[in-house]
Structure 1
C-alpha cells in the first residue's frame, strides 16, 4: 500500500514539472527598452536600458543598433527586491550609444535568443557641431585639424595635424585611428601637450601629427576623426576634479579634408620618381688611402638620405660600369626610417667590397640620383663624381740568391783554421796513392746503388695514392666532402674556399669553378651561405665567419649535379684565378 502511494506522488510531481516546463516554454519573456534622455543632442551619448523580469532565452544581439547608432559600450546587472512580501528579480542590459544622424530614430527589436525586446523611438535634435562641443553654453571642448600641403604630389609627404583643445575635466578620452584609403599613414613621434588660446579663452591642448603619402593621383578624402570623452554634466569644472558629479560622454568629429593629389610632373626625367624635401648622396672608402695593392679588398659605402620620403621610394644605387679588373661583392642594403616631428627621414646604405685583380689606374663611375624638390617644384640631381683609385703591384716575394763559392783565403800565421787544398796539389796526391783511388770508386758505386734503391721505393710510394685518386689528379668526392666538412667546422674561410672550389670542380670538370659562379647558379640557403663566405674573405673590415650554415646548405642541397648529367651546366663566371691545391 505504501509503495503505491509513493508511485502516485512521483507521478503527480512529474506531471506538475512537465506542466510548468511546457507552460514556461510557451510564454515569452517580456523585455522593455527605455532611453535615459529624450530628446538628446546628436553629438551627445545616452543610454538605452533593456529590462526583463525573468531570464530570457539567450544573451542579446545588439547588432541591429549599428544602423542608426554608434555603440560605445554595454553592461549588465541584476536587481532583487521585495514588494508586498513577494520577491521579484529584474535583469537590465545598459547600452551607451551616440546617434549617427538627427531625427526620430527607432530602437529596433533586439533578439534575446527566442525572446525579443519591444521597439521604441527616441528624438535626436540636430545641432551643428563644426568640430566643437558646448557644455553649459561654453566651448569647453574643441577639435581642430589641418593639413599641408593641400595639393601634394603622388607619393609625396603631407603633414596632417589634429589638436584636441579642452578647458574642462576630461575622462576616458578616445580618438579614433586615422585611416586613409589609397595612402600610407604614419604617426610622427609622440603626442605633444601645451597651452594655447582661442577666442580669448585658454585651453589645454594635445597635438598629434601624421605623415600621409598618397599612392595615386586625384582627389584624396581624409575621413573625420572621432573623439569620445567624458565631461562633467554640470558644466565647466576648470581644474577641479569631478568630486562625484555626474559625467556624460561627448562625441566630436573633425571636419573631413580633401587633397588634390598631383601626378609626377612631365618636367621630371629621372627613371625613379623620388619626391622629397631634400636628398643627399655620400660615399666613403675603407681603407681611405691614396693607393691600394692588387688583391687588397676595398669597401665602398654609398649612403642616400631623403627628408620627407619613405624608404620604399629610395632607388637602388647602381654599381654598373665598374672596370672588368675590379670584382664586386655587394652586401644587403641597410634601410632605416626615422619618424621626426617635422616628417619622415629615410636612409638607404649600400656596402660593396671591391677587389682589384691587377695593378693600374681605375675609375669608379659617377653616380646620379634625380629627385623632385617639393618645395621649389624643380628637378634636382644628387651626384657623386667619378673617383680614381691607384692599384699597386703589391709586395713581391723576394727570391733568396744562391750562395756562390767564396774563394778561400790564406790562413794567417798562428791560425788554427785548416789550409785550403788546391786542385793542382790534390791530383798528385791521388796519383801517388792508388789505394785511395780504388776506395773512391767503390764508395761511388755504393752510393749509386743506394740512390737507385731510394728512387725505386719513392716511386712505389707515389704509385699507391695514385691508384686511389681519379685519373685527373683531383681528390675523390668523399675526400672533398671530408675536407669541406673539416674546414667548415674549423670556421676557416680560406680553407673552406679551396675545399668548396675543389667540390665544384669535381662536379663540373669542364668548367672553372669560382665563388661568384657557384652563388649565381645556386638559390636559397646555399646562395646566401656562399655570398657570406665571399664577404668574410674579401670584405673590409673582416667579419667573423661561421661555417655551420654553409655545411648545412651543402648537405641539404644538390647543386645541379643531376642537371649536369642530363643537360649540361652553363659556364660559371670566372671570379678568381684558377685555384691551385696547397700542400
Structure 2
C-alpha cells in the first residue's frame, strides 16, 4: 500500500515537471526609450519565457538601420507550486544611423517571433540648445578630402555638465584605414551658452589605406551617473542610471595616389632633410668620420618614412649604423623623424666630391611634387699624419766628412833630434797604449754585469704589455686597446711616437694599421665586418718576429732560443 502511494507521488511530480517544460514559448521585445536622439543609444530588450538556448538571439536583421553594440544575456529560473519558469533576457545596444522613423523587425527565437517596433529618431539639438543636455560628444576632421596614406587629424570632445560615477570613451572606427591616438587626453572646463562643462579632448590620427569614400564610426561614450529622479538608496550605494552618447558620423573622401608618382609615396605639408658632422670635421686617409642625416616629415608616422638614399664615391668605405626613428607632437602638428648615421673612411688623399642627397615628396597643399635635398660638396682629404711627415722630410744619408789637414810646423825638428830622445818617445807611447787597453778592459768587465739585468727587466715589461694588449684585443675594447697598442709600437719599433696615429703611419706598421681600421669599422657596422681578434694578434706576432730577425742579422748574433711571448 505504501509503495503504491509512493509510486503515484513520483509520477505526479514527473507529470508536473513535464507539464512545466511543454508550456508554450513566449517571446517579447521592448525598448527603453522612444523617440530617441540621433546620438543616443537604444536598449532593445528581448525576453523569452521557456527552455531556450542562450545563443538563440541573432542581431543580423538590425544592421540595416542601426549600429549594433554589445549584447548581454542573463537567465532566471523560478519554481512556484512545482511550476518551473525559465526566463532568458537579451539586452542589445542600438545606435540609429540617421534621422527618421525606422522599424525594429520581428525577432525570431526558436520559431516564435516578437512584434515589430517603430522607432522615431530625432536630430541632435543645435549648439544653441546643447545646454539643455548634460552629456554630449562632438567630433571633427581637419580635412574631408585626402590622399591615400595622408594623415587626417580627428578630434573628439566629451562634454559633461555633472559628475559621472564611471565611464569609458571608445575609439572611432574606419574601414580600410588605421586609427592611432596621439598624445594624452586634455581636460579643461568651458562655458557653452551659459552652462559650464567639463571637457575631455582626445586626438586621433586616421591613415586611410585605400581610395574611396568612407564613413567614420564615431566614438561611443558609456557611463553611469547618479539618478536625479529618486531619493532612494541601498545602504552605502546610491542608485545610478546608465547613459550612452555617440559622436556624429563623418565622411572622408580618399583620393588615389597620382599616376605621375614614380617611386616612394610621401604625402605631407612639410619635409626637411639636414646633415651634421663632428665639430672637428677633417677628412684624413684611414680615419672614420661620422655623417648624420635627419629626415623630418609632418603628418606621417615613423613607420612610413622611407630610407634616405645615399651615394658615395668609390674612394671611401662606408659603414652605416642602424637607423633611428621617432615621432612627436608640437603645436598640434605630428612630426616624424628618421636619423641615419654613416661612418665614412677615405682611402685616397686629395679632392673628393660627396654627391647630394634628394628625397622627393608630394606637397598636399600645392598638389605638386617637391624635393628635399642636400647639395653636393667637395672636400679635401688629407694624408695620414705619419705619411705626410715622412714625405715632407725625405730620408737623407749622412756621410761624415773629415777636415783636410792643415800644414803645420812641427814643434820639434825630428830631423835634428838625437837617437836617445827618439827611443824615449817610442817607449812612452807604447806604455801609454798598454795602459789605455787595460783601462778599457777593466771598464767593460765592470759594466757588462749591470747591463744584463736592465735588458732583462725591459723584456719582462714588454712581455707584460703585449699580454695586456692581446687581452684587450680579445675583448675588442678599443678604449683599452689604444694606449696599449701605442706603447707596444713604441717599444717594438724603437721610437717615441707622439700619438697612436703617428705610430700606425710607420711603414712597418701597415698591416697593424689595416687590422686596427677594420676593428674601428666593426663598431659602426658589426654585421658587415670581417675583423677577428685572432688575425690582429697574428699580425702583431708577425711584425715582432720580423723586426727581431732583422735586428739579429744586423748584430751578427744568434737569435734567442726562447723569444719573448
TM-score grouping bracket, smaller chain normalisation: 0.5 to 0.7
Change (3 A) 1:223 1:153: same
Query: Contact (CA 8 Å) 1:233, 1:247: kept in 2 or not?
Result: yes
Root-mean-square deviation (CA, aligned residues, Å) is 5.4
What is the DSSP-based 3-state SS (H/G/I as helix, E as strand, rest coil) of the residue aligned with 1:418? helix
Aligned-partner Cα distance in 2 for 1:46–1:59: 18
What is the DSSP-based 3-state SS (H/G/I as helix, E as strand, rest coil) of the residue aligned with 2:519? helix
TM-score by length of 2: 0.59
TM-score by length of 1: 0.58
Query: Contact (CA 8 Å) 1:168, 1:236: kept in 2 or not?
Result: no
Change (3 A) 1:19 1:375: closer
How many Å apart are 1:180 and its aligned residue?
2.2
Match of 1:442 in 2: none
Match of 1:190 in 2: 184
Match of 1:148 in 2: 142
Change (3 A) 1:152 1:218: same
Change (3 A) 1:303 1:64: closer
How many Å apart are 1:95 and its aligned residue?
1.9
How many Å apart are 1:189 and its aligned residue?
0.8
Match of 1:128 in 2: 123
Aligned-partner Cα distance in 2 for 1:278–1:236: 57
What is the DSSP-based 3-state SS (H/G/I as helix, E as strand, rest coil) of the residue aligned with 1:228? strand
Query: Contact (CA 8 Å) 2:518, 2:531: kept in 1 or not?
Result: no
Q: How many residues align?
A: 429
Query: Contact (CA 8 Å) 2:291, 2:342: kept in 1 or not?
Result: yes
Change (3 A) 1:171 1:352: same
Match of 1:95 in 2: 91
Change (3 A) 1:9 1:34: same
From 248, 272, 280, the counterpart of 1:280: 272
1:157 maps to 2:151? yes
Match of 1:228 in 2: 222
Gaps of 5+ in 2: 403-428, 441-469, 479-514, 533-537, 543-565
Match of 1:418 in 2: 437
1:346 maps to 2:336? yes
Match of 1:50 in 2: 47
Q: Which has the higher helix share?
A: 2
Match of 2:296 in 1: 305
From 357, 360, 368, the counterpart of 1:367: 357
Aligned-partner Cα distance in 1 for 2:278–2:336: 24
Aligned-partner Cα distance in 1 for 2:306–2:471: 39
What is the DSSP-based 3-state SS (H/G/I as helix, E as strand, rest coil) of the residue aligned with 1:538? helix
Query: Contact (CA 8 Å) 2:17, 2:84: kept in 1 or not?
Result: no
Query: Contact (CA 8 Å) 1:214, 1:261: kept in 2 or not?
Result: no
Change (3 A) 1:110 1:65: farther
Aligned-partner Cα distance in 1 for 2:373–2:95: 58
Match of 1:105 in 2: 104
Q: Any residues of structure 2 matched to 1:50-449 within 5 Å, and which?
A: 50=47, 52=49, 56=51, 58-64=53-59, 67=62, 70-74=68-72, 76=74, 78=76, 91=87, 93=89, 95-98=91-94, 100=96, 102-111=101-110, 119-129=114-124, 138-231=132-225, 234=228, 244-259=238-253, 261=255, 263-264=257-258, 271-286=263-278, 288-292=280-284, 294-320=285-311, 322-338=312-328, 342-375=332-365, 379-385=369-375, 386-396=377-387, 417-418=436-437
Query: Contact (CA 8 Å) 1:298, 1:539: kept in 2 or not?
Result: no
Aligned-partner Cα distance in 2 for 1:47–1:365: 69
How many Å apart are 1:158 and its aligned residue?
2.2
Change (3 A) 1:182 1:414: same
Query: Contact (CA 8 Å) 2:283, 2:289: kept in 1 or not?
Result: no
How many Å apart are 1:139 and its aligned residue?
2.6
Aligned-partner Cα distance in 2 for 1:318–1:392: 29
Change (3 A) 1:271 1:389: farther
The superposition leaves residues 487-539 of structure 1 with CA deviations (integer Å, 9 ceiling, x where unpaired) of 99945599xxxxxxxxxxxxxxxxxxxxxxxxxxxxxxxxxxxxxx9997233
Query: Contact (CA 8 Å) 1:359, 1:392: kept in 2 or not?
Result: yes
Aligned-partner Cα distance in 2 for 1:411–1:35: 143
